[in-house]
């Protein structure tokens, strides 16, 4: 009985918050905007693809819905203002051949008393240059200038054995509590002897999985989960300093690791090389078996091999022999290029790269070859 009552109270509070947000949003919405109520499993990427017919418009939704602090964290019951694209905003439903009945709100949409967002019009083949977003990771590829802009550098999710051995950690906190978050003061095991200074920023993370090479089975490093960021406020000796957590994506606690903070946007200039180099995709940022454009991968080549940020690798499937079922002969199928990678961040023996092109689904264990130019 008590549990049912608590559930009812929570439901009422959530409903009240949702209605309040919708009321605030409707005061600022344009006449061509609707409100969608988030369901379990929804993402801004999916919502944009469904209602704007183009998933790459998701940053527009995030910008319009300013109460969303993390675009990767939206929850059932939250209202999302559906902002039409500039090309569609001026087109009424009749202009794209929709019947009058199309004005009925689709399931999950809250009636706002404004014009129905036309869903039948085709999006332009290419977005305006200033809005060309190439993946849900907010990756922008400018081929003409030979530059890649990657705006999630702090979340690449891999650390080498050498980096882990040299990493710092959170020793404790000023307040005696188990879960730490934004604004909390913590103590680090780094001080004067480490060469850090007041104002230095660090990324907070936890180790989640050991990564073995798909061919040699040798340990290459560890997958990590980014938890937040902190800034050094005071040096307390050779091996101790005080810092403040300025950003948290998840629960932070004593014993979490830290490494130098990376900028939110990093410009990668495409770099040519004259040295031939082969290797493998050894892991990916997200736990998926098939990879494509916009995905982040980790490769088994790094600084010791001469790899630099901006190097381009071709992903290929080697030539192989197959048996002709009719004649019994063994015939050779030629090598096939299936994708391209751009190195975002080289480490000592590994590198993090962005998939910029894929003709087929890429896989961990795929062969890579550096492009010489």
List pLDDT tens digits, range 92-141.
433 333 333 333 444 444 433 333 333 333 333 433 333 333 333 333 33
Render pLDDT for 217-229 as a digit per residue (tens, 0 to 9): 999 988 888 888 9
For residue 133, tell me if it sits in a domain: no
CA nearest to 299, candidates 318, 285, 317: 285
Of 195, 178, 173, 194, give the one whose Cα is nearest residue 243.
173
In the block, tokens 């490093």 appear at 221
Q: Do residues 181 and 105 both lie within one domain?
A: no
Residues 279 and 319 placed together within one structural domain of the fold: yes
d(CA 75, CA 47): 13
pLDDT of residue 338: 94
Residues 228, 272, single domain; the answer is: no
Q: Which of 235, 260, 285 is the last residue of a domain?
A: 260
Domain identity same for 25 and 120: yes
Total Cβ atoms within 10 A of residue 229: 22
Q: Are both 180 and 234 inside the same structural domain?
A: yes
> At CB < 8 A and 24+ separation, what contacts does 128-136 make?
128/86, 131/57, 131/59, 131/60, 132/56, 133/56, 133/57, 133/58, 133/59, 134/56, 134/293, 134/294, 134/356, 135/293, 135/294, 135/295, 136/43, 136/44, 136/45, 136/55, 136/58, 136/294
**Domain coverage including residue 301:** 266-370
Q: What is the arithmetic mean of pLDDT over 175-181?
A: 88
Same domain, 270 and 256: no
142 belongs to a structural domain = no
Asked whether the predicted pLDDT for residue 90 surpasses 60, the reply is: no
CB 133 within 8 A of CB 59: yes
Q: Is residue 135 assigned to a domain?
A: no
Taking residues 322-332, report their average pLDDT.
87
Is the residue at 2 inside a domain? no
Distance between first and last Cα of the chain:
71
CA distance 110 to 36: 6
In a domain, residue 248? The reply is yes
- The tens digit of pLDDT for each residue in 267-278 reads 788 888 877 899
| Residues 271 and 366 placed together within one structural domain of the fold | yes
Flag whether pLDDT at 50 surpasses 50.
Answer: yes
Q: Which of 194, 229, 260 is the last residue of a domain?
A: 260
Partnered with residue 315 across adjacent β-strands are: 339, 368
Does residue 205 contact residue 227 with C-beta atoms inside 8 Å? yes
Give the mean model confidence (pLDDT) for residues 249-274: 83
For residue 345, give the CATH number of its domain: 2.40.10.410
Rounded Cα distance, 73 and 90, in Å = 31
Q: At which of 242, 260, 278 does a domain end? A: 260
- 274: which 2 tokens? 């004259």
In DSSP notation, 216-260 reads T--EEEEEEEEEEEEEEEEE-SSS-EEEEEEEESS-B-TT-EEEE
Pick the closest to residue 283 from 359, 370, 224 (CA basis): 224
Instruction: Please report the pLDDT score of residue 136 as a whole number.
Output: 35
| Both tokens assigned to 239 | 């091996």
For residue 153, name the pLDDT band (cuts at 50, 70, 90): low
Q: Token match 């957590």: residue?
A: 245
The number of helix segments (H) and strand segments (E) in the chain equals 5, 21
Cα separation, 241 vs 196, whole angstroms = 9
Domain count, the chain: 3
């Amino acid at each position: 009985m008590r549990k049912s009552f608590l559930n009812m109270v929570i439901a009422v509070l959530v409903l009240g918050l949702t209605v309040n947000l919708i009321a605030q949003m409707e005061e600022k919405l344009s006449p061509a905007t609707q409100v969608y109520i988030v369901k379990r499993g929804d993402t801004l990427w999916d919502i944009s693809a469904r209602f704007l017919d183009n998933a790459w418009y998701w940053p527009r939704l995030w910008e319009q819905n300013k109460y969303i602090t993390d675009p990767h964290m939206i929850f059932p019951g939250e209202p999302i203002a559906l902002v039409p694209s500039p090309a569609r905003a001026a087109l009424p439903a009749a202009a794209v051949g929709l019947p009058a009945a199309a004005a009925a709100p689709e399931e999950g949409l809250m009636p706002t008393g404004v014009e129905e967002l036309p869903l039948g019009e085709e999006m332009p083949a290419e977005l305006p240059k200033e809005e060309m977003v190439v993946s849900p990771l907010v990756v922008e590829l400018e081929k003409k200038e030979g530059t890649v802009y990657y705006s999630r550098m702090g979340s690449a999710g891999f650390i080498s054995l050498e980096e882990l051995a040299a990493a710092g950690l959170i020793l404790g906190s000023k307040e005696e509590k188990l879960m730490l978050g934004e604004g909390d003061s913590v103590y680090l095991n780094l001080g004067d002897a480490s060469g850090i200074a007041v104002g230095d920023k660090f990324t907070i993370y936890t180790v989640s999985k050991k990564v073995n090479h798909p061919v040699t089975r040798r340990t290459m490093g560890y997958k990590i989960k980014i938890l937040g960021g902190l800034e050094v406020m005071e040096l307390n000796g050779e091996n101790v300093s005080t810092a403040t957590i300025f950003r948290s994506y998840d629960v932070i606690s004593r014993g979490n690791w830290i490494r130098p903070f990376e900028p939110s946007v990093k410009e990668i200039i495409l770099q040519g090389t004259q040295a031939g180099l082969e290797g493998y995709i050894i892991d990916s940022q997200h736990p998926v078996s098939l990879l494509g454009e916009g995905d982040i991968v980790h490769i088994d080549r790094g600084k010791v091999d001469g790899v630099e940020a901006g190097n381009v690798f071709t992903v290929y499937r080697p030539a192989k022999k197959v048996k002709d079922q009719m004649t019994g002969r063994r015939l050779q199928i030629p090598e096939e290029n299936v994708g391209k990678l751009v190195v975002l961040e080289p480490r000592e023996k590994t590198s993090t790269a962005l998939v910029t092109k894929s003709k087929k689904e890429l896989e961990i264990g795929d062969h890579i070859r550096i492009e010489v130019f």
